[in-house]
């Protein structure tokens, strides 16, 4: 149970969960809009809760924007068509099947047959998308220079970050990028790979992003800024 709440301008009270962690130097915020709306704060060992709450208040506009822009969830059912991994995919529940099968109609259209119990339909679709997204990531990364390839790839379900690169060589991605256009997905991948050479956002870093990605970096960034909220529409 949370000891604190953050009251939005709409009057909604969002629980605030503060975690103390050894070895961290800064306070970090993670607003979550699913499956429940919460704000998670990590703080250094000697930092008081009051200081963490003051920091949260200083980021009020950012937090308000995240919760205001969180899309309404859309439940998926058999017969729906959704876009992921650059394809328009019709979803069909077939209880006679034990697994899932993606059948391509052409390069841009496919049908996903989902087996198992009806109550597990959404979960099976979600798990299939995540597994296919990971395969796509690995293919993109395989074509990158060897020195920037990560030691490990991790999938996350983050609210405010599409990717991150750690000093240990692990690169994490939000699996919801699977719902973005292919070129936008590739931009985030190249962005994080560039961090393997430059752990900052210096001019040298952006030059490396453009070297890896090619023409259209600004267009991909703009699409993600304007439409990123919709990638949380499902599940």
Give me the pLDDT at residue 5, please.
94
Report the run of H or E that residue 213 belongs to, with start and end: helix 203-213
Sequence-ordered list of residues with C-beta below 8 angstroms from that of 143, at least 6 positions apart, any chain: none
Give me the pLDDT at residue 36, please.
79
Cβ atoms 211, 167 nearer than 8 A: no
Pairing of strands 109-114, 87-93: parallel
On the 0-12 / 13-18 / 19+ scale of CB atoms within 10 A, 86 is: middle
Give me the pLDDT at residue 83, please.
97
Give me the pLDDT at residue 68, please.
86
Question: What CA–CA distance (Å, rounded) separates 37 from 10?
Answer: 14
Domains of the chain: 4-69 (no CATH), 81-232 (3.30.2010.10)
- Mark the ranges of the chain whose per-residue pLDDT is less than 70: 1-2, 160
CB 233: neighbour CB atoms within 10 A? 15
Indicate the SS3 state at residue 170: strand
Give me the pLDDT at residue 2, please.
67
Cα radius of gyration rounded to whole Å, the chain: 20
> Which of 83, 106, 99, 98 lies closest to 182 in space, CA to CA?
83
Question: What CA–CA distance (Å, rounded) separates 116 from 174?
Answer: 26
pLDDT digits (tens, 9 = 90+) for 132-174: 999 999 999 999 999 999 999 999 998 768 999 999 999 999 9
Give me the pLDDT at residue 1, please.
57
At 105, list the tokens. Answer: 């109609």
Question: What CA–CA distance (Å, rounded) separates 209 from 193?
Answer: 8
């Amino acid at each position: 149970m949370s000891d604190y709440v953050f009251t939005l301008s709409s009057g909604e009270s969002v629980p605030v969960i503060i975690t103390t962690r050894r070895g961290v130097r800064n306070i970090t915020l993670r607003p979550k809009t699913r499956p429940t709306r919460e704000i998670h704060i990590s703080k250094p060992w000697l930092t008081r809760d009051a200081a963490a709450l003051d920091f949260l208040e200083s980021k009020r506009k950012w937090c308000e924007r995240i919760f205001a822009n969180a899309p309404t969830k859309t439940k998926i059912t058999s017969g729906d068509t959704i876009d992921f991994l650059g394809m328009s995919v019709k979803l069909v529940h077939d209880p006679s099947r034990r697994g899932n099968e993606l059948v391509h109609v052409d390069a841009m259209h496919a049908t996903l047959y989902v087996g198992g119990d009806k109550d597990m339909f959404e979960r099976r679709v979600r798990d299939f998308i995540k597994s296919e997204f990971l395969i796509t990531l690995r293919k993109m990364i395989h074509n990158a220079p060897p020195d920037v390839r990560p030691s490990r790839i991790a999938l996350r379900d983050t609210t405010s970050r599409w990717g991150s690169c750690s000093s240990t060589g692990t690169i994490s991605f939000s699996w919801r990028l699977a719902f973005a256009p292919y070129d936008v997905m590739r931009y985030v991948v190249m962005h994080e790979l560039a961090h393997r050479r430059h752990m900052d956002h210096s001019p040298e870093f952006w030059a490396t992003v453009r070297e890896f990605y090619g023409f259209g970096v600004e267009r991909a960034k703009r699409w993600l800024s304007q439409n990123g909220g919709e990638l949380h529409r499902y599940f």
